[in-house]
């Protein structure tokens, strides 16, 4: 059930529309006076407004109603009906945000359809907000933390290239945050509403990996009982993350090279290419140049992937970040996982900062989590760490508490979907997304959704409009609105 405000100076018209809406189970607020409708608008908070344009013989008061309805949070969809249609008024109404424009006399079945369409469009927008909230919950602690000079370089690079189409190669030892960087690239780009699809290229034998990546036709090989879509297609409009690319077989390396060159994929057992719009981000902890020398990694693929390299420093080269990371883990991750708050002694920080961390940030996180799980109090002491850490600290055991707040301010980059209610980083700058008017957020959501549909149809606007259930003209208008600021 939706709340619908109906405004027209002809009482019979109001009555007919109201009856139609009530028959569909909607709640109706009928008005024959524009000022009364304007006054009641905010407190009624309708989902949809169906208004006549000339509620007064001389003035198009329907435009005021339209503007007020669009300024609500959330904005109502508006269908404008007029007995005196001109191109100018139609353009004006659509510019001011009317969802639809109808001429009198209106056929009831047409009106019914248009109303349904406007309301389902509203649902799609709010559903999107809901989905984003869910996602936010799941990923809310996926953050990339750092303040050291080398991490600042990494952040700068991510900011600069996130919203481009360039292929990125992330290099770094195990546990340095390569997957987080890949996510940060995706969730800070306009592709964020489309899927982020990670695949570990070392985890599967060649033929399985091939059919995972490219899909297969039914009967292509024993066991292929159904057609299967590959991950490249799943990631359409979004980002595919090829992790551990260094362990990919030569045959698959050449297939990936073809995708990068042709932008199309062929399923196993199929000759028909499928166009895909996917951004490729790859990662490896292997020295690819050495693999090229040995002849196990294709040099041409390396150059295709390595358009933008991002090198992640090992944790031992950025020891200053240890306190920041520790407080991030304690405050965010551990607190929500174990439901307990912890403090930490200065000695623990000292010991953690002295360790060489061959397993990098992942190892640090594991040590902290283990210590929290084993600790009997809310204070983590040296004795809660694995025994080898004791040797890093000289002097008496001490319980002086480390002031978490004294850690330098971290630079934080979200590697998660941006929270509902905040403007998308693609339009607001990657970092520090300030809160702003909801209508801007909704418009950004809409623009991103449109872009996703366009990416999906390979830029075919007519197809995209069909997919979205809107007219081509509406699509053009919305695109120009989105590009205005």
Ligand X SMILES: Nc1ncnc2c1ncn2[C@@H]1O[C@H](COP(=O)(O)OP(=O)(O)OP(=O)(O)O)[C@@H](O)[C@H]1O
> How far is 42 from 51, CA to CA, in rounded Å?
16
With CB cut-offs between 5 and 8 Å by kind, which of Mg ion, ligand X, none does residue 266 bind?
none
Q: How far is the CB of 160 from ligand X (least distance, A)?
A: 18
Tokens linked to 186: 């995706």
Q: Kindly write down the DSSP assignment for every residue of 377-422, as one continuous string.
A: SSEE-GGGS-GGGGGG--SS---PBP-GGGSPPPEEEE-SPPPTTS
Q: How far is the CB of 20 from Mg ion (least distance, A)?
A: 57
Q: How far is the CB of 353 from ligand X (least distance, A)?
A: 16
Q: How far is the CB of 169 from ligand X (least distance, A)?
A: 13
Only segment of 29-37, 59-67, 357-365, 436-444 that touches ligand X (CB under 6 A): 357-365
> Using the 8-state DSSP alphabet, how is residue 198 labeled?
E
> How far is 65 from 6, CA to CA, in rounded Å?
10
Task: Using the minimum distance from each CB to ligand X, give the nearer residue, 146 or 423.
Answer: 146
Task: Using the minimum distance from each CB to ligand X, give the nearer residue, 125 or 144.
Answer: 144
Task: Using the minimum distance from each CB to Mg ion, give the nearer residue, 163 or 179.
Answer: 179
| Contacts with 338 (C-beta within 8 Å, 6 or more apart), sequence order | 372, 373
Of residues 247, 255, 157, the one with CA closest to residue 211: 255
Q: How far is the CB of 148 from ligand X (least distance, A)?
A: 10
Q: Kindly write down the DSSP assignment for every residue of 307-369, as one continuous string.
A: TEEEEPPPGGGGGGGHHHHHHHIIIIIIHHHHS---EEBHHHHHHHHHS--TTHHHHHHHHHH
Q: Terminus-to-terminus CA distance in the chain, angstroms? A: 34
The footprint of ligand X on residues 164-203 (CB under 6 A) is 172, 174-180
| Contacts with 207 (C-beta within 8 Å, 6 or more apart), sequence order | 221
With CB cut-offs between 5 and 8 Å by kind, which of ligand X, Mg ion, none does residue 285 bind?
ligand X
Only segment of 53-61, 64-72, 360-368, 460-468 that touches ligand X (CB under 6 A): 360-368
Give the CB-nearest residue to ligand X.
177
Cross-strand pairs, 168: 281, 308
CB atoms within 10 A of CB 63: 20
Q: Is 286 in the site for Mg ion (CB under 5 A)?
A: no
Only segment of 44-52, 132-140, 178-186, 285-293 that touches Mg ion (CB under 5 A): 178-186
- Each residue 128-167 as x (binds ligand X by CB under 6 A) or -, in order, gives ---------------xxxx---------------------
Q: Is 365 in the site for ligand X (CB under 6 A)?
A: yes
Contact 72, 42 (CB under 8 A): yes
Q: Is 285 in the site for ligand X (CB under 6 A)?
A: yes
Q: Is 37 in the site for ligand X (CB under 6 A)?
A: no
Q: Is 246 in the site for ligand X (CB under 6 A)?
A: no
CB atoms within 10 A of CB 203: 12
Tokens linked to 160: 């600069």
Q: Is 179 in the site for Mg ion (CB under 5 A)?
A: yes
Q: Is 60 in the site for ligand X (CB under 6 A)?
A: no
**Burial annotation 142-152 (CB, 10 A radius, 16+ → b, else e):** bbbbbbbeebe
Task: Using the minimum distance from each CB to ligand X, give the nearer residue, 172 or 237.
Answer: 172
Please report, as ranges, the residues that interact with Mg ion according to CB under 5 A: 178-179
**Which residues are at the interface with ligand X (CB under 6 A)?**
143-146, 172, 174-180, 285, 325, 328, 361-362, 365
């Amino acid at each position: 059930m939706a709340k619908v405000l109906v405004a027209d100076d002809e009482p019979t018209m109001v009555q007919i529309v109201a009856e139609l809406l009530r028959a569909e189970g909607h709640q109706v607020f009928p008005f024959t006076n524009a000022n009364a409708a304007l006054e009641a608008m905010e407190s009624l908070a309708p989902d949809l407004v169906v208004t006549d344009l000339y509620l007064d013989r001389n003035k198009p008061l329907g435009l005021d109603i339209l503007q007020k309805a669009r300024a609500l949070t959330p904005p109502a969809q508006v269908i404008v009906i007029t007995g005196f249609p001109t191109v100018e008024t139609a353009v004006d109404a659509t510019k001011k945000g009317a969802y639809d424009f109808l001429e009198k006399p209106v056929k009831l079945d047409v009106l019914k359809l248009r109303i349904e369409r406007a309301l389902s469009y509203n649902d799609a927008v709010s559903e999107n907000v809901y989905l984003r909230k869910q996602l936010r919950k799941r990923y809310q602690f996926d953050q990339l933390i750092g303040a050291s000079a080398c991490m600042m370089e990494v952040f700068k690079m991510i900011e600069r290239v996130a919203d481009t189409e360039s292929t990125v190669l992330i290099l770094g030892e195990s546990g340095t945050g390569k997957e987080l960087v890949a996510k940060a690239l995706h969730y800070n780009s306009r592709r964020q509403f489309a899927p982020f699809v990670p695949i570990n290229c070392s985890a599967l034998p060649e033929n399985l990996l091939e059919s995972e990546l490219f899909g297969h036709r039914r009967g292509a090989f024993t066991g292929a009982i159904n057609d299967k879509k590959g991950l490249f297609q799943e990631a359409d409009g979004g980002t595919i993350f090829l992790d551990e690319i260094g362990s990919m077989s030569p045959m698959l390396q050449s297939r990936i090279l073809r995708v990068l060159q042709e932008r199309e994929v062929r399923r196993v057992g199929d000759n028909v290419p499928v166009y895909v719009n996917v951004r490729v981000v790859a990662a490896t902890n292997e020295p690819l140049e050495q693999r090229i020398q040995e002849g196990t990694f294709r040099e041409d693929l390396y150059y295709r992937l390595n358009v933008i390299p991002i090198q992640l420093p090992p944790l031992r080269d950025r020891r200053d970040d240890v306190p920041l990371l520790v407080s991030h883990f304690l405050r965010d991750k551990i607190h929500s996982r174990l439901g307990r708050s912890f403090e930490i002694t200065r000695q623990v920080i000292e010991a953690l900062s002295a360790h060489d961390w061959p397993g990098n940030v992942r190892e640090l996180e594991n040590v902290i989590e283990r210590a929290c799980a084993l600790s009997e109090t809310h204070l983590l002491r040296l004795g809660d760490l694995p025994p080898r850490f004791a040797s890093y600290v000289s002097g008496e055991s001490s319980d002086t508490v480390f002031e978490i707040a004294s850690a330098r301010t971290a630079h934080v980059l979200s590697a998660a979907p941006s929270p509902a209610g905040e403007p998308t980083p693609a339009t607001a700058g990657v970092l520090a997304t300030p809160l702003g008017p909801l209508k801007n957020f909704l418009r950004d959501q809409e623009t991103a959704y449109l872009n996703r549909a366009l990416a999906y149809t390979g830029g075919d606007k007519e197809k995209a409009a069909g997919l979205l259930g809107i007219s081509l003209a509406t699509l053009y208008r919305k695109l120009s609105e989105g590009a205005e600021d």
